[in-house]
Amino acid sequence: MKIVLQRKELEKKIKKAKNIFLMAHQDLDLDALGSSIGFYSILEKMGKNCYLIIDDKKHELGVSKILQELDGCIAIVEGEKVREHLYPRMSKNLLLILDTNKEDLVQNQEVLDYFDMEHRIVIDHHDKGTTSIPCALEIIDTEVSSTCEMVANMMELYRMEIDPYYSTLVLAGIVLDTNNFTLKTTEDTYYSAYFLANQGASPKKVQYLLKQDLKEYIERQKLMHDVLITNKTIAISKGSAYTIYRREDLAKIADTLLFFNDIDTTFVIGKISEKIVGISARSTGGLNVGEILSQFGGGGDEHGAAAKIETTSVNSVKERLLKILKDLEGE
């Protein structure tokens, strides 16, 4: 576990800081939020002033539940307000970037300018890309299931008593990113879940956080009406050209399609705004979907990836994907 191996470097930077800011990727999910809050709880026990940066205006259901429950319990600031909370001596400020390593995916890119390279730390489990954030310390472990698994390792390492509620949030992130322990799950992942359960994490609460809205679920299933099976094992789903989907809708359908016989790789394409088409991809390891979607300017790893393309044509994105897959087949 890289975060354990790089513990001393991480500790050294944390000890020097007075104010520590945590920022994850846009469109928060349970891994991004769970790892942020889990690390926030560790830092608080170290006596640090912590701030969680969130600019998202809309949240998926599980994230929304957590933020409502934690209202007033943790310090949440918007990116434009960060400057007001910086410690007067700039060298005493530290930025932790969690669950992404790319500049264009963070909650607020302008926040990066408030911290020089020496005062940025990236903690992530996704492959690096062309827009990876320059920093003094990067702890990127593509072998782990989730950033929450990395944070669980830190919790155990410091032998801290973490509030059961926070442990539950970290467990929820692991459950989400492993698709209920069906993807990218190792014995270390199971051990992390066991450790969190011993800390009081509630599996029942995790399931509550993962519950979905019925109307949204029914709407999301329409994405499965147009599924193309190519190369016998790859499922490609295309949404309506007239419907705007949420990024998490695309991701959830990509997860669902993996449960069907013979399917080991999935791609789900749909408009996520009037001028942007999104792709979510999942794989059991047959194809490295992170490398494939990097050709669309996206990223991820061999098991999960996403991309946003500035275009209004869902069909053109699908055709481009099919060409990439055909070229790979010919290699």
Whole-angstrom distance, CA of residue 102 vs CA of residue 97: 9
- pLDDT at residue number 2: 82
Tokens of 68: 């409502």
CA gap 293, 267 in Å, rounded? 10
For 161-189, the DSSP string reads ---HHHHHHHHHHHHHHTTTTTSS--HHH
Residue spans of alpha helices (H) in 7-124? 7-16, 30-45, 61-69, 82-85, 109-112
Mean per-residue pLDDT of the chain: 92
- What pLDDT, in 10s, does the model give residues 164-177? 999 999 999 999 99
Q: Where does residue 213 rank: exposed (0-12), middle (13-18), buried (19+ CB within 10 A)?
A: exposed
- Bigger pLDDT: 107 vs 131: 107
Read off the amino acid at residue 37: I
Q: Tens of pLDDT along 282-308?
A: 998 779 999 999 999 887 888 889 999
- Of 161, 183, 209, the last residue of a domain is 209
In the chain, the amino acid numbered 174 is: I
Instruction: Count structural domains, the chain.
Output: 2
**Res 331: pLDDT:** 60
On whether both 132 and 39 belong to a single domain, the answer is: yes
* Pair 239, 272 in one domain: yes
- Cβ burial of 257 (10 Å; 0-12, 13-18, 19+) is buried
- What range defines the domain where residue 18 resides? 2-209
Are residue 50 and residue 144 in the same domain, yes or no? Answer: yes
How far, in whole angstroms, is CA 26 from its chain's centroid? 9
Q: What is the pLDDT of residues 8-59, one digit of tens each?
A: 999 999 999 999 999 999 989 999 999 999 999 999 999 999 999 999 998 9
Does 161 share its domain with 239? no
Q: What's the confidence (pLDDT) of residue 149?
A: 97
Pair 118, 169 in one domain: yes
The DSSP H or E segment spanning 49 is strand 49-53
Strand-by-strand arrangement of the 234-238 sheet: 227-230, 234-238, 265-273, 276-283, 304-310, 299-300
Does residue 155 surpass a pLDDT of 80?
Answer: yes
Domain with residue 54: its CATH number is 3.90.1640.10
Asked if pLDDT for residue 330 goes beyond 70, the answer is no
Question: Average pLDDT in the 56-72 region?
Answer: 93
Average pLDDT over residues 278-284: 94
pLDDT at 162 over 70: yes
pTM tops 0.85, yes or no: no
189-197 mean pLDDT: 96
pLDDT of residue 130: 82
pLDDT at 319 over 70: yes
187 and 272, same structural domain? no
**Same domain assignment for residues 23 and 161:** yes
For residue 181, pLDDT over 90 is answered with yes
On whether both 26 and 43 belong to a single domain, the answer is yes
What CATH number did the domain enclosing 254 receive? Answer: 3.10.310.30
Among the candidates 209, 241, 274, a domain finishes at 209
